[in-house]
Structure 1
Amino acid sequence: MIVTTTENIPGHTVRETLGQVFGVVVRSRGLGGNITAGLRSIVGGEIPEYTKLVEDARRHAIDRMIQNATVMGANAVVMMRFDSGEIAQSMNEVVAYGTAVVIDPAP
């Protein structure tokens, strides 16, 4: 399935727009990871424990969005975006969303 952040896909035309589609993931870092990340934040710089958490959550959200688009009969998702937030200061929510479409190769 083609997933793009653009409205159009070069070499393809949108035959049908099926509607909005999304994938939601809520993740929490374990106590050990939170302690390690907290210690790293004292000296500054990247916190790999949280970077991995967000990367994994985004990948999982995209996978769920693709599953939902497939169920709708789509073969592509256009205008894909991410949104994220924090829940109860210990959990990270990531949403991947876009428009499910059916595309055909351009003549």
Structure 2
Amino acid sequence: MILSTTDFVPNKEIIEIVGIARGSTVRARNVGRDIFAGFKNLVGGEIDEYTQLQAESREEAIFRMTKDAEKLGADAIINVRFTTAMIMQGTAEILAYGTAVKLK
């Protein structure tokens, strides 16, 4: 599956738009990560535990978006975007979405 943040795929012709592909995951912080993050908050610097959690969440959202596009019969997803939303305290959704297309 080709993924693109642009509205085209270089050297390919889009012959059909098959729909919106989407994938999301909702993740919560955990107590262990919060303790380490609290210490790092005191001294400053990157909070690796949260960086890793966000990276894993993005990858899961991309995976689910790709599976959704495959169900639609797409060859590529263009205009790929990400968004986040807080669901409740300490819990966030990561959503990946784009336009599923067929290529010539």
Both structures adopt the same fold (TM-score exceeding 0.5): yes
What's the offset of the Cα at 1:30? Answer: 1.6
Distance 2:42 2:81 in 1: 32
- Match of 1:101, SS? strand
1:87 corresponds to:
87
2:35 corresponds to:
35
Distance 2:56 2:5 in 1: 19
- Match of 1:23, SS? strand
For structure 2, the residue ranges without an aligned partner over 5 or more in a row are none
1:67 corresponds to:
67
Hey, which bits of structure 1, 4+ residues long, moved more than 3 A? none
2:101 corresponds to:
101
Distance 2:12 2:30 in 1: 44
For structure 1, the residue ranges without an aligned partner over 5 or more in a row are none
TM-score by structure 2 length?
0.95
- Aligned length, in residue pairs: 104
Q: Which moved more, 1:31-40 or 1:67-76?
A: 31-40
TM-score by structure 1 length?
0.93
1:56 corresponds to:
56
- What is the aligned-residue RMSD (CA, Å)? 0.9
